[in-house]
Every structure is written in structure tokens, then in C-alpha cells.
Amino acid sequence: MFLHGLFLLIAGISAGLGGSIAGIGSIYSYPALLIIGLNPLDANVTNSVSLTFVSIGAVIGSKPEWLPKKKLLMKMAPATFIGGICGALLLLNTPVTSLRITIPYLLIFSSLAVLYPRKSSSSEVTRSKFVIVTIIAGVIGIYSGYFGAGSGSMTIVILMQLLSLEIKVAQAMKNLLIGVANGVAAFAFIFSGHVHWLVAIPLAIGCYIGGRTGPFIVRRMNQKHLKIITSISGLVLATWLLIRQ
């Protein structure tokens, strides 16, 4: 039991760092839950609850970056919130594999798109731009509530390219938006009977530690290097998802 707890704590720290830096937390935490014997549905639900603590730590740690965008985030968050509810309901009522076929390919696209130079146009949010971002934020909320692997990378790309944001700002905004989706999904999962609490607790502690640490690393990284790391991490995750199909 002690070794299981230590293993999950380390997996959680890795997930927290991966999630807050590159948006790939699930590549560490989800397999860890499968390794210790959870079935795919219980692992997915327990993972979602634990990953909420990545967001809590990352949102606190990245506050200097997302605070100037607070008004925009408040407009986008409701769509992500509703999407998270829908995603959680989908997970509890549909086969777990139903949405995974296309996700690796979307992730490959978003991983490569991170490297594409962001538009140098004004970052002012026009009505049309806001409508597009809000719709996509809702879709990402659905996916985050349903499975979540790679949703962080996709969110970063959307924010960078549509709103002309630097990657560090996009990372910080992603932490909050994904946190909303994961949080509402986790609340629904608490009452589902699929959460393994003795497993979730050490994983969640590790997730918080990693999530809290990640923003400090991002803040000190060269933006070009951060893009490369995010892109490579996303491609690794896409490869893992393809192998698992």
C-alpha cells in the first residue's frame, strides 16, 4: 500500500508538471491508475477528480499571467462550465472509446500548430472572434469532462492563434479554463461511485504539487523553447493515444 501511494504521488507530481507546463497531465496519471489495477472507466473518473488539483495549483501559480485577462476569462468560463457538465454525463452514459478515434489526430494538428507563428494583429477580442472562441471553449469543456488527455494543448493553440496571445499567457488562461471543466466534471463524478478515494488522494496531492510548481518553470522559460516542449509533448501524447486504440 505504501509503495502504491508513493508511486501515485510521483505520478501525480509528473502529471501536475506536465499538465501545467504542456497540457499533458493525463499521460502520466491515467496509465498509473491502470497499472495499479483500476478498470478504464474507474481510472478515467478517478483521474479526472485528481487532475482538478493540477488546475488548482496551476491557477494559483500562474495568477500574474491570467489576471490581466480576467474579464475575458469570465466571459469564456460559462461555456467551459456547461461543456464540462455535458462531458461528464457523456462519460457516465456512453462507451469510453466513442470519442477517442479522432482525438489523436486533432492533438497532432494542435501540437504542430503551437509552432506556427502567432498572428501579429491586435489581441483585441472582436465579437466574431469571441463567438468562435466561446464555441470552441465549450467543445473543449465537453472533451475535458469526458476524457481530457490533450485538451490543454488544444486550448493553448486556440488562445494563441485566435487571440494573438503569447504562449505563457495562453498557458495561464488554459489552466483556469480547463480547471473549470475538470472541476465541474469532478463534482459530478464524486457521486458516481467510480472514484477510488484511497487511490485518488495521493495522486491528487502529487497533482497539486506539480501544478503549483509548473507555472514558476514556465515563467522562467524561453518562449521558443516552451513552444517546442509543448509541441513535442503533444506529439508524444498523440502517439500514446494511437497505440492504445
Where along the chain do its domains lie? 2-244
What is the average pLDDT score of the chain? 82
Mind listing the pLDDT tens digit for each residue in 44-59?
889 888 988 998 999 9
Query: How much is the pLDDT for 223?
Result: 76
- The 3-state secondary structure of 10-56 reads HHHHHHHHHHHHHCCCHHHHHHHHHHCCCCHHHHHHHHHHHHHHHHH
Give the least confident one: 72-86, 96-110, 187-201, 217-231.
96-110
Which DSSP symbol is given to 89? H
Written as one letter, the residue type at 182 is N
At 145, the pLDDT band (50, 70, 90 cuts) reads: confident
Query: How much is the pLDDT for 96?
Result: 56
Query: How much is the pLDDT for 98?
Result: 53
Global pTM exceeds 0.75: yes
